[in-house]
Structure 1
């Protein structure tokens, strides 16, 4: 007879004997009946032989129109973080009734777990019943708005309900409870493993807490009723919370310690910090490299070149300065991770560093933010910097021939979905637009980088260019006026 999927999974991934697999198979044959009877999702998980994880070997779904699980999860690995009740069942041999768990598809369910045992009373599998949380909530007409269950919790802590796990048994944090003489009277599974690892002591119940964990001494002796301290122990980063427990007569009953292992979190923070340093160093190098290129161009200009090449050198310098301005603003941020650029400040910086043909030309650059503070990512900021540079440079070069004075207005407008950048001069006008490298750069950047639109507006005097691009996660507006400034 061809082996079933359940048998194949058990033989491949578990250490179960043939007799154990037979018991699991017999339980699995009843799952469809219970799934329909209880209107719940039924599973069997078995512990894997390679590691401490579990694997789903059988399942049955109720025949309902709304499905919690859209696909089969047989063969999927079960992690303790999402389903601690399964691992509690394996470790203690006790059932875990109606607690929360996260499904393989990310949905919250209420889960009950019962151990499956062989004839030797060994746990060989976990029988799981799950019901979607929202379904049970919809049946409740009113939800309490205050805390409740203090009496039930006291019963749990007093060990009068041994069949039910204490809530802390299902958590990854370490819970330790001492009596008034500072002897350990309770430790959840995470706490037991932690003490065994740190103290190398087999017998821990009713032992002095400071004998088991000497590093708690300065925390225990703190006068505060509630005290929190972060410390490093054996290359572990720990956050220790201490709460003194008192009765109604204000007599000390014991102390609760909650210890959270922050090692992984602190490691990731260090990695992010190193990443931030590296990114900032890259920004520095890009800016310095751009300044080096600009210096080489200036040196070439001083050495001499054909007069017809002068404008090309100046155009190139302005483009380099525009990109460099983006990185200067990023490096000015206090937060190394923040690469957002203020477009109004960027435009002012571009205008102040722009190289023009005639240094005696009297042209005023007027920037109007119109109540908006627009922040964008460095990627989009580079594109906008080049666009502003090209349009302002065109106005400076062509709108005011013969050294006549004039003004160039740069205005930022915003609506619900779009940002508009208007650049207008009061010069002689551009006439019929022909081909130029600058305008080609503008069109390509607007369409390809900003997913926007570029056009000219017909005016009686001067040139009026409008750039429109959509808001996105990379473009954020602060202090925006209620009405669009038109």
Structure 2
């Protein structure tokens, strides 16, 4: 029965594979043993597939213990607001210990959360151990409420808390068992007045004034989080229902207005769409220019001019590669480019296009991940293009094969790009359009240095440029 429930909930609410579900089923079948051995309440939670929430898929209570929960919580949604340890372990894959955590039934517990991982070391669920802890309040102050120690109205409107609640950006709305408003902080009063058009609101039914809260009050769970969109506002509503000896009392709503945040998100989304469209147009325009050049090359072009046009096509392709990499990213407004990936793309295409020459291409990132802005990436793309093009054009004359090695060496302050080959070499490097392009880009765009290192076999070029705001280094 336990295994069947785990499978059903995981299939319905998660993206877990059959193998992952089997791991959770095996753990769930031993959950009762863990609970009895430790004297703790045990749970298994899994992330929902379409949200940042989780769901309880299995539970076990110590045999013979006083019930910590009135009802089964299997199938209940878990919110990060109330159980941050669950989501910490999910994100970081580490154990989480919280000395005092408030459960979604308003019970103070000590909670330990351990991530459950599959054979690929991916977190597929969390194992939770809970024990009720004693309140920190003196014994004579502890009453029968599970969430508050006196009536909620007294608690919220007490001298100290009243000042705090008045300063909160969040809206606090407190209603009695008949859903009549008994307290609201200034932000809450402003919301009710704005949405209902009424000023005299105390002791009036909150659902008559704010009918969009109907679904909040109809939800049976004592603690729940809602995302509500009205005609005017986007709201996050946390509901906490107070109980005394299982008798329904006040309901506290903590409301956060996300309207301005959602508006900014929409603006950013529009900006992202515009930037993506610009990247598309630049890429398409480059492809159009390349197509025109190819058309010109087919139109009785002299053989001596063909090589220059092919070099121009390679330069256009190198720039276009930058925008192709950006457009593949999930967020088009993020125009950072992975230089290692860019280098692989440019070099492999150029080498594959050399039909009459077999070249072994070696790219050595040395465990580095180098991220630059799109502007720097265009400069680096053109530099790499010129260096590889020079090797393919001049290094292997009279040979059928060769080796080109591209290596990135990084220290804290500088990146070194080494491009070497085992070709015929250059005893006296001559100035050409390609070397002029490299010098100008390295000096003006990268604020770096370009030089050839003498060697007995082949050619060895080095580009050196500083790490900075637009050039960042990460360990791969």
Please give the TM-score of this superposition, normalised by the length of structure 2: 0.65
Q: Which residue in 2 is equivalent to 1:244?
A: 241
Pick from 378, 389, 392: which aligns with 2:388?
392
361-370 or 294-303, larger mean C-alpha shift: 361-370
Q: Please say if 1:345 is aligned against 2:346.
A: no
- Aligned length, in residue pairs: 333
1:263 to partner: Cα distance: 1.2
Q: Please say if 1:367 is aligned against 2:354.
A: no
Q: Which residue in 1 is equivalent to 2:155?
A: 157
Specify whether residues 270 and 158 from structure 1 end up closer, same or farther in structure 2 by C-alpha distance, changes over 3 A only: closer
Paired with 1:147 and 1:438, the residues of 2 have a C-alpha distance of 75
Divergent runs of 4+, >6 A: 146-156, 355-358
1:158 to partner: Cα distance: 6.0
Structure 1 residues 143-175: Cα deviation after superposition (integer angstroms, max 9, x where no partner): xxx99999899897364539x843111122211
Paired with 2:440 and 2:136, the residues of 1 have a C-alpha distance of 60
Q: Please say if 1:291 is aligned against 2:287.
A: yes
Q: Which residue in 2 is equivalent to 1:234?
A: 231
1:452 to partner: Cα distance: 1.9
Paired with 2:417 and 2:198, the residues of 1 have a C-alpha distance of 71
Paired with 2:300 and 2:200, the residues of 1 have a C-alpha distance of 88
1:226 to partner: Cα distance: 1.5
Pick from 165, 173, 176: which aligns with 1:168?
165
Q: Is the 8 A contact 1:225 1:243 kept in 2?
A: yes
Q: Please say if 1:271 is aligned against 2:282.
A: no
Paired with 2:412 and 2:373, the residues of 1 have a C-alpha distance of 19
Q: Please say if 1:458 is aligned against 2:454.
A: yes
Structure 1 residues 231-289: Cα deviation after superposition (integer angstroms, max 9, x where no partner): 22123212211111234x34433111112221111111111111111111111111111
Q: Which residue in 2 is equivalent to 1:431?
A: 427
Structure 1 residues 3-37: Cα deviation after superposition (integer angstroms, max 9, x where no partner): xxxxxxxxxxxxxxxxxxxxxxxxxxxxxxxxxxx
Q: Please say if 1:441 is aligned against 2:437.
A: yes
Q: Is the 8 A contact 2:407 2:417 kept in 1?
A: yes
Q: Please say if 1:412 is aligned against 2:408.
A: yes
SS in 2 for 1:401: coil
Q: Which runs of 5+ in 2 are unaligned?
A: 1-134, 139-147
Paired with 2:137 and 2:337, the residues of 1 have a C-alpha distance of 49
Paired with 2:351 and 2:405, the residues of 1 have a C-alpha distance of 18
Specify whether residues 397 and 315 from structure 1 end up closer, same or farther in structure 2 by C-alpha distance, changes over 3 A only: same
Q: Please say if 1:187 is aligned against 2:198.
A: no
Paired with 2:451 and 2:339, the residues of 1 have a C-alpha distance of 20
Paired with 2:330 and 2:469, the residues of 1 have a C-alpha distance of 21
Specify whether residues 439 and 347 from structure 1 end up closer, same or farther in structure 2 by C-alpha distance, changes over 3 A only: same
Q: Is the 8 A contact 2:174 2:253 kept in 1?
A: yes
Paired with 2:152 and 2:470, the residues of 1 have a C-alpha distance of 51
Q: Is the 8 A contact 2:452 2:460 kept in 1?
A: yes
1:479 to partner: Cα distance: 3.1
Q: Which residue in 2 is equivalent to 1:210?
A: 207
Q: Is the 8 A contact 2:227 2:235 kept in 1?
A: yes
Paired with 2:361 and 2:188, the residues of 1 have a C-alpha distance of 68
Pick from 463, 466, 475: which aligns with 2:471?
475
Q: Which runs of 5+ in 1 are unaligned?
A: 1-145, 481-486
1:382 to partner: Cα distance: 0.7
Specify whether residues 147 and 438 from structure 1 end up closer, same or farther in structure 2 by C-alpha distance, changes over 3 A only: farther
Q: Please say if 1:225 is aligned against 2:222.
A: yes
Please give the TM-score of this superposition, normalised by the length of structure 1: 0.64
1:463 to partner: Cα distance: 0.8
